[in-house]
Structure 1
Amino acid sequence: MKVTVVAGNPKPGSRTLDAAGLVAAAVTGAAADSTVDVIELGAGLLGWGDEKVAAAVETVASSDLVVFASPTFKASYTGVLKLFLDQFATGDGLKDVVVVPLMLGAGPAHAMAPDLLLKPVLVELGATSPAPGLYLIDTTYTTDTRIADYAERWGPILTAAARTRTELS
């Protein structure tokens, strides 16, 4: 099973990236195979045909399970993540990729954002999302039990869906 982490934070090496890696490891029992720190793709995100962006898109599209992570920005996901998602074809760019929508924020006010804002765009691109998204408080995600609780409840469902994709390929 190929697992990838995508972090759409305007800051490279962010807590968002760290949290996404922790979620991937908790859900699957192993570190992600690939990481896409979207901000590192730079100006290539502003158009089409950039080789680094195309390689990142291919990595994500060929994955079985992807954790898509963003900080909460203006009550939504970041523009940098949107630029990356725009690189995928509508309807089948993420065909059958199992996804975990993950967002981090300063407080609980936007706890529904992963399901209300990020999950619909991923599904529009063809992704499968058999579990709810996850919202984490950016100052406590390393000390609270939210990731472990999520992985215990939803990890078996997510990995089973991802393995089904692998078996069908």
Structure 2
Amino acid sequence: MTQTPGPDRALPLPATLRTGVVVGNPKPASRTYQAALHLAERLAGRAPDLTVDLAEYGAGLLDWSDAATAEAVAGVAALDLLVVASPTYKASYTGLLKVFLDRFQSDALAGVVVVPLMLGAGPGHAMAPEVFLKPVLAELGAVLPTRALYLLDSSYDDPAAYEPWLAASQDRVLAALRRPASPTL
């Protein structure tokens, strides 16, 4: 079933708004990556402008002088809408994602609308993105207009799995993207 745009929804987003995904799964092109792409496309009405699959960065993530990682950090900070995704490892997000997020200065994501997304094997970790991932994104200054999304990894490729979250949250994400940036004091 295709959801029709509501009064506050304008799909696709203007081409001037930059969207992206960051995926902290150690496996390249993982289910987490596919889920993040799907969510970003549903929110923006088009493919993301930037995809950062951290599995491709290897040891460069630990090298503070690595140009590719620095470019990824700068690219992410310049986005308007970002999906940050991780599988659930030990009831939290991956160390790979943590290493990447540690590269950002405090408030580096100020003004960026961010949707935290985590996949897990069972419902027992459904609060992990709210409890562990969302606070670190808030510390980086991200605009977090909705609750985080947790999906069972067995349903990452089922569009219906996203529908309850989209129905409750898509309008708030789009409204946050339409707000003018707050003036800096």
Shared fold, TM over 0.5: yes
Aligned pair in 2 of structure 1 residues 149, 31: CA closer, same or farther (>3 Å)? farther
Residue 122 of structure 1 is aligned with which of 137, 145, 149? Answer: 137
Aligned length: 167
Work out whether residues 111 and 181 of structure 2, in 8 Å CA contact, stay in contact via their aligned partners in 1.
no
Q: Secondary structure at the match of 2:158?
A: coil
Q: Secondary structure at the match of 1:139?
A: helix
Q: Which runs of 5+ in 2 are unaligned?
A: 1-16
Which residue is equivalent to 2:5? none
* Higher relative contact order (Cα pairs below 8 Å, separated by 6+ residues): 1
Q: Which runs of 5+ in 1 are unaligned?
A: none
Q: Between Structure 1 and Structure 2, whose CA radius of gyration is higher?
A: 2
Distance (Å, rounded) in 2 between the aligned partners of 1:112 and 1:133? 9
Instruction: For residue 33 of structure 1, report the CA deviation from its aligned partner.
Output: 1.2
Distance (Å, rounded) in 1 between the aligned partners of 2:73 and 2:57? 11
Give the 5 Å matches for 1:64-75: 64-75=80-91
Aligned pair in 2 of structure 1 residues 48, 155: CA closer, same or farther (>3 Å)? same
Give the 5 Å matches for 1:1-16: 1-16=17-32
Which residue is equivalent to 1:51? 67
Structure showing the higher helix proportion among its residues: 1
Residues 1:106 and 2:97 are matched in the alignment:
no
Runs of 4+ aligned residues of structure 1 deviating over 4 Å after TM superposition are 165-168
Cα deviation per residue 1:105-140 (whole Å; 9 max; x = unaligned)? 001000011110000000001111010000000011
**Which moves more between the two structures, 155-164 or 142-151?**
142-151
Work out whether residues 130 and 147 of structure 2, in 8 Å CA contact, stay in contact via their aligned partners in 1.
yes
Which residue is equivalent to 1:96? 111
